[in-house]
A and B are shown apart, each in its own frame.
Chain A
Amino acid sequence: MRIIAIFAVVITGFLLIYATLDMPNWGDPNSPASRHVSPRYIEGTMPETATPNMVTSVLADYRGYDTLGETTVIFTAGIVCLMLLRRVTNGQ
């Protein structure tokens, strides 16, 4: 059984490493990720939003709906933690 497990792990690891060989080089300007929406954001940030920090404009403006979800996740985590752990004794 252990032999089979090791075999499966080695094969999966080999496949994953083999798959990384097809990935574009680090920082390659011709990679698909750098050619699709990134130039649009880089060119549009200053004329459209007047924000020097591109990360903020993508986070809060172009992808504002996503950040609303992130904030809701944090809020839900805090409220659930409060509901599960908080114990109010009768003296208080």
Chain B
Amino acid sequence: MVNRYENVLIETVTRLLIPAMQLFGLYVIAHGHGSPGGGFQGGCILAASFILMVISYDIKELKSRMSENLNTILCAIGVFIYGGTGLLCVILGGNFLDYSVLHKILPVDPIKARYMGMLMVEIGVGIAVMSVMISIFLNIASRGEHEGALN
């Protein structure tokens, strides 16, 4: 187990940078319809903020905010949101992933319902990509031990 190397400069800059990165990641996911972006890119930005936390603090700091159980469950929830949106369309009487039938449960017209369906799908992709990136990084960087600092 490697001890944490404390550095005031790195920790202060990281503390300022991580909220900005997470806000930008959420913006990229939510605004993927109007500008370059979407679930994959926003999820990677969110994961990068957590990975920066591991690099500049240690794994314990990440685990106090995002436990391993929560992270693994989020992997599955992301894919479930995607598949569940598709199945919801089937239940409402359309084809699989045909979002226009979502206007029956959303207060929008069928064309705008496709926009909303895409947003739901992108959120699912973002959650799945974020938690998978964190999981892969932690497992490879700490050789499966999940303890100690990486710096």
- Interface residues, chain A, with chain B CB atoms under 8 Å away: 47-53, 55-57, 59-61, 64-65, 67-68, 71-72, 74-75, 77-79, 81-82, 85-87, 89
Contact = CB atoms under 8 A, between A and B. Distances in A.
A11 to B, nearest CB: 40
Contact of A81 (B36, B139, B145): B139
Given A49-B111, A52-B33, A75-B78, A57 B118 contact: yes
Contacts of B35: 53
Contact of B86 (A51, A56, A68): A68
Contacts of A79: 75
**Chain B residues touching A, majority SS:** helix
Contacts of B146: 86
A18 B34 CA distance: 41
B128 A81 contact: no
Contacts, number: 98
B136 A81 contact: yes
Nearest to A49: B114
Given A53-B32, A74-B129, A82 B139 contact: yes
A63 to B, nearest CB: 10
Contact of B99 (A61, A65, A81): A61
Contact of A86 (B38, B112, B121, B144): B144
Given A78-B132, A81-B139, A85-B143, 7 more contacts: A49-B115, A60-B122, A64-B86, A67-B82, A78-B133, A87-B143, A87-B145
B124 A51 contact: no
B19 interface: no
A67 B117 CA distance: 14
Contacts of A51: 33, 114-115, 118
